[in-house]
Amino acid sequence: MKRYLVPVVLIAVILMYGCGGSPEATPSPTAQPAEVGDTVRVDYTGTLEDGTQFDSSIGREPLQFTIGDGQMIPGFENAIIGMEPGETKTVFIPMDEAYGPYREDLIKEVPLSELPDVQHEVGMQFYKITTEGYMVLVTVIGVTEDSVILDENHPLAGRDLTFEIHLIEIL
């Protein structure tokens, strides 16, 4: 019985580690790069042209989304395509691939009678349903006796952005 044990153990070791190799020499399957349709988890830090940080997931839960579902700005999604888990990169995203240009047509004067009965002040932000049925964050940029002037542009509209992105995993 003992004489069969040595060949069986030798065969098991060869099958586990490959012919003539050690565990370190055995090639491991390479990670597949992220592609459209993948759900990913990332950490990120976003900065403006002058280096000012405007957002970060560091210290919070990583951001999770599905590439191609339109949940993220196009430049951010495109930057992740081709990345492998564990990879980090810094990408510049021009305004056209971020929140678009700043649009003057999104400045609206709204009668006070159409807004909640609260004290409106310049700089105040709240969510409003647009005439198209979308909920948007608006900023009060002016107040008159009878109306409020609202800016429906995204706060980062017209800005080029830079993101440092770390792909944690592909789910």
Cα separation of 55 and 44, whole Å? 8
Count of Cβ atoms closer than 10 Å to residue 60 Cβ: 8
Every domain of the chain with CATH number 2.40.10.330 lies at 104-151
- Length of the chain equals 171
CATH class label, 104-151: mainly beta
Instruction: Read off the amino acid at residue 164.
Output: E
Residue with tokens 């990332």: 42
Every domain of the chain with CATH number 3.10.50.40 lies at 39-100+157-170
How many Cα atoms sit within 13 Å of 52 on the Cβ side?
7
Which CATH architecture describes the domain 39-100+157-170?
Roll (3.10)
- For CA atoms 118, 119, 121, 124, give the dihedral sign: negative
- Residue-wise pLDDT tens for the chain (171 aa)? 444 433 333 333 333 334 443 333 333 356 799 999 999 999 999 999 999 999 999 999 999 999 999 999 999 999 999 999 999 999 999 999 999 999 999 999 999 998 888 889 999 999 988 778 888 899 999 999 999 999 999 999 999 999 999 999 999
